[in-house]
Amino acid sequence: MAARVEPGRISREGSPWTGLWAVVAKEMADYLTGIRMLILEMLAVLTAAGTVFMAAESLRTTVGQDRFLFLRLFTVQRDPLPAFIGFLAFLVPLIAIALTFDTVNGEFNRRTLSRVLAQPIYRDALLFGKFLAGLFTLTLVLTAIWLLVFGMGLARLGVPPGGEEVARSLLFLLATIFYGGVWLALALLFSVRFRQPATAALASIAVWLFFTVFWGIIAQGLAQILVPLRYGLVQEVLAQDQVAQALARLSPITLYSEVMMALLYPSLRAFGLVGVLLQFQEGVIVGAPLPLSQSLLLVWPQLTGLIAATVLLFAISYILFQRQEIRA
Amino acid sequence: MDGPVIQTQELTKRYGDFVAVDRLNLVVEPGEVFGLLGPNGSGKTTTILMLLGLTEPTSGTVRVMGLDPARQPLSVKSRVGYIPDQVGFYDDLTARENLIYIAKLNGIPREEAYRRIDEALEQMGLKEVADRPVGTYSRGMRQRLGVAEVLIKRPSLIIMDEPTLGLDPEAAREFLNTIRDLKAQGITVLVASHLLHQVQAVCDRVGLFHRGRMVLEGTVEALARQVLGGGYRVYVEAVGPQAAILEALRRLPDATKAEAMGSERYMVEGRRDLRGEAARAVVEAGGSLRALQLEEPSLDDVYARYFQEVEHGREG
């Protein structure tokens, strides 16, 4: 009898999400009880408490002068500690990478992967469940830190936050979670791609370092090559800055910091040269603060960019995982 | 249930140029223990993965309980228990927690799951240690936990990949008894192994794999008859005139082969058990009999002999 292959698409029975919540529950339990998470949470809480305490101390003198006092809690820095947002941009990728860098290859190495996939679930559920569990864990940790900041603010400043402040800082929390999602998806991708968890961790950290340290410099350099300053005109300087900005926005760190700026500095109207100026010389901003909807509009592309990056990275890991031979 | 539990037709899997499984036609009937035997890399695990829908066949068809694992993987996987090679568990969770996770993945309601887990752990003799982390388990215990795990889905077919590998002889023997118990419960069992002599004892039928092809199939006795010619091998230890004894042994009815192995040892192969006749022949030839031993047909011999012949055939 001749070999026969079914023609056309193979339609699969049942939902691809069968068993999803079982995976999410199990992974979250693992994350939340693991020593690794305990260390990271302590680190995060310590830095949050430290920076916000210092910020509150310096803000106590200006109570009543600033309409957005609570937002200052996140952004004001006082030596020797940097501002809270600086720490967050640094810590969130670290926590996210630590959550997922060994999630798939770890199962492979413990030889549990084939056993789990022999259960009536699809691979979709396993991978997405792992990602969701990471995202939920991250949300939990970040929300806890956010509440801590607000609580300390109430206690130290003695004034309640206004409605718009709460809304802005909640959106900031949401953006931070999306930002963490990018790094979760990146580490997940490497955990599918590399069999050794150490390799996956190193690769994730390498990407993170690249964007943190080098990408800004490279973007500047590339902009100078692409749009050289011939006559030193203002238009040229601005054009070059635009290109540099566009390149820099390929980095999730740039996207996140822009979202952060727009949400936490209500008077911010533009990024780039002006934005950079404002970033370092707060307090001298001229003009009235923007309404929340306008600030949101300003960073809408950045927010969607963060989500798109997450989706893209997850899609790549999904394809790799589907194609992977799972034989031990 | 009607019809075979497993049926494959011309099942083939290629990885690039390498043919892992070559036109496999396999039929496993309900209630039997079937051995998928052969050396490492001969296509056993790939066959299993295709049966479970964990990898897609290049060509050919697979039916497991009448279902196509590529199209209905969830139905197949909820009816089939799979114990992979060197089964792994989450070491920091207890045995019970490990099983609860699997029960949840199978969508078994909580009450029912707890009942089945208790039953399965009891049956596998793990009840006392059920709340210890699996990291503290021995290899034999892990293997039994693997069986307990598949039992909670009440499977009609259990597939085991190298179940006795790495077990000490005692644990391996116990595990083979476990397979017999499963068969007694009416569960069909498919065992893949390269340890032929260990699993031959529990298999109703075996299929011998070589380079992706199932080259021989049948009961162990039938294969022994087919390949070894006789299948019964008697070792004789006797003192006396060697030439005369050997000649007498050769002339035994139903003997296919007799040879001397050293000065006082002889080997006779026959189509039946020739111990009685051999003893008489030695004495009549003027020798004194020291020992007589029947060797049951062994799959290792079948395998070795068959491929010797295949290789010879190829050269000749």
Tens digit of each residue's pLDDT (9 = 90 or more) over B7-21: 999 999 999 899 999
Check if A120 contacts B (Cβ < 8 Å).
Answer: yes
**Cβ distance of B74 and A121 shorter than 8 Å:** yes
Share of chain A above pLDDT 90, in %: 43
The whole-number pLDDT of residue A266 equals 82
Which tokens sit at A300? 């809408």
The mean pLDDT value for B173-190 works out to 94
The mean pLDDT value for B191-210 works out to 89
More confident residue, A271 or A156: A156
Report field, pTM of the whole predicted structure over 0.80 = yes
Share of chain B above pLDDT 70, in %: 96
Check if B133 contacts A (Cβ < 8 Å).
Answer: no
Continuous H helices in B43-160: 44-51, 73-79, 95-105, 110-123, 139-151
Which tokens sit at A248? 């820099």
Rounded to whole angstroms, the Cα distance separating B302 from B215 reads 12
> Rounded to an integer, what is the distance from CA A236 to the centroid of its chain?
33
Measured over the CA atoms of residue B210, residue B216, residue B219 and residue B222, the dihedral's sign is: negative
The whole-number pLDDT of residue B83 equals 95
β-bridge mates for residue B228, sequence order: none
In contact, A137 and A99? CB cutoff 8 Å: yes
pLDDT greater than 80 at residue B74:
yes
β-bridge mates for residue B259, sequence order: B267
In contact, A96 and A138? CB cutoff 8 Å: yes
**Cβ distance of A3 and B12 shorter than 8 Å:** yes
**Cβ distance of B107 and A18 shorter than 8 Å:** yes
pLDDT greater than 80 at residue B235:
yes
Closest CA of chain B from A141, distance in Å = 23
Rounded to whole angstroms, the Cα distance separating B21 from B10 reads 9
Backbone angles phi, psi at B183, to 5 degrees: -60, -40
The whole-number pLDDT of residue A327 equals 67
A33 Cβ contact list (under 8 Å, min separation 6): none
Tell me which of A45-54, A102-111, A142-151 is least confident: A45-54
Q: Closest chain A residue to B79 measured between Cα atoms?
A: A120
Q: Give me chain B's average pLDDT, please.
A: 89
More confident residue, B174 or A270: B174
pLDDT greater than 70 at residue A92:
yes
The whole-number pLDDT of residue A5 equals 42
Rounded to whole angstroms, the Cα distance separating B137 from B248 reads 57
β-bridge mates for residue B80, sequence order: B157
Closest CA of chain B from A15, distance in Å = 9
Chain A residues whose beta carbon lies within 8 Å of the beta carbon of residue B100: none
Give tens-digit pLDDT for B297-316. Answer: 777 878 887 877 776 665 54
Looking only at the bridges linking them, the beta strands covering B157-161 and B80-83 are parallel
ipTM: 0.84
The whole-number pLDDT of residue A326 equals 75
pLDDT greater than 70 at residue A28:
yes
In contact, B253 and B233? CB cutoff 8 Å: no
Closest CA of chain B from A190, distance in Å = 21
Q: Kindly calculate the radius of gyration of chain A based on its CA atoms and give it in whole angstroms.
A: 23
A291 Cβ contact list (under 8 Å, min separation 6): none
Q: Residue A305 — very low, low, confident or very high, per pLDDT cuts 50/70/90?
A: very high
A103 Cβ contact list (under 8 Å, min separation 6): A27, A130, A134, A188, A191
Closest CA of chain A from B60, distance in Å = 5
More confident residue, B41 or B122: B122
B229 Cβ contact list (under 8 Å, min separation 6): B256, B257, B269, B271
CA nearest neighbour of B62 among B10, B100, B115: B10
- How many Cα neighbours within 13 Å face the side chain of B96? 13
Rounded to whole angstroms, the Cα distance separating A37 from A64 reads 39
Torsion of the alpha carbons at A114, A12, A18 and A200, rounded to the nearest 10: 40
The number of residues in chain B equals 316
pLDDT greater than 90 at residue B118:
yes
A300 Cβ contact list (under 8 Å, min separation 6): none
Tell me which of A164-178, A226-240, B189-203 is least confident: A226-240
The mean pLDDT value for B80-98 works out to 93
The whole-number pLDDT of residue A194 equals 94
CA nearest neighbour of B232 among B151, B301, B285: B301
The whole-number pLDDT of residue A283 equals 52
B256 Cβ contact list (under 8 Å, min separation 6): B229, B230, B269, B270, B271
Check if A9 contacts B (Cβ < 8 Å).
Answer: no
pLDDT greater than 50 at residue A215:
yes
Q: Residue B242 — very low, low, confident or very high, per pLDDT cuts 50/70/90?
A: confident
pLDDT greater than 50 at residue B44:
yes
Which tokens sit at B143? 């293997």
Question: Residue A118 is nearest to which of B45, B82, B91, comparing CB atoms?
Answer: B82
Rounded to whole angstroms, the Cα distance separating A296 from A303 reads 9
pLDDT greater than 60 at residue B212:
yes
The whole-number pLDDT of residue B78 equals 93
Torsion of the alpha carbons at B295, B298, B303 and B306, rounded to the nearest 10: 50
The mean pLDDT value for A276-294 works out to 63
Which tokens sit at B216? 């021989």
The mean pLDDT value for B134-141 works out to 93
Element spanning B19, H or E? strand B18-28
**Cβ distance of B71 and A325 shorter than 8 Å:** no
The whole-number pLDDT of residue A1 equals 35
In contact, B241 and B294? CB cutoff 8 Å: no
The whole-number pLDDT of residue A8 equals 44
3-state SS, residue B295: strand
**Cβ distance of A120 and B10 shorter than 8 Å:** no
Would you list the DSSP string of A155-200? Answer: HHH-SPPPHHHHHHHHHHHHHHHHHHHHHHHHHHHHHHH-SSHHHH
**Cβ distance of B91 and A110 shorter than 8 Å:** yes
The whole-number pLDDT of residue A153 equals 85
The whole-number pLDDT of residue A277 equals 55
The whole-number pLDDT of residue A324 equals 86
The whole-number pLDDT of residue B243 equals 87
Q: How many helices (H) and strands (E) does chain A have?
A: 14, 0
Give tens-digit pLDDT for A265-284. Answer: 887 777 766 555 555 555 54
pLDDT greater than 90 at residue B197:
no
More confident residue, A236 or B82: B82
For the stretch B158-171, what's the b/e string if a residue is b when 16 or more beta carbons lie within 10 angstroms of its beta carbon? bbbbbbbeebeeeb
pLDDT greater than 70 at residue A328:
no
In contact, B199 and B300? CB cutoff 8 Å: no
The whole-number pLDDT of residue A10 equals 54
Tell me which of A45-59, A187-201, B49-63 is least confident: A45-59
CA nearest neighbour of B224 among B136, B122, B306, B128: B306
The mean pLDDT value for A190-200 works out to 95
Would you list the DSSP string of B151-194? Answer: HTT--SEEEEESTTTT--HHHHHHHHHHHHHHHHTT-EEEEEES
pLDDT greater than 80 at residue A82:
no
Check if A110 contacts B (Cβ < 8 Å).
Answer: yes
Q: Closest chain A residue to B13 measured between Cα atoms?
A: A3
**Cβ distance of A18 and B9 shorter than 8 Å:** no
More confident residue, A12 or A103: A103
Check if B94 contacts A (Cβ < 8 Å).
Answer: no
Residue with tokens 């031959």: B200
> Rounded to an integer, what is the distance from CA B250 to the centroid of its chain?
34
Secondary-structure percent of chain B, ordered helix, strand, coil, rounded to 5: 40, 30, 30
The whole-number pLDDT of residue A133 equals 96
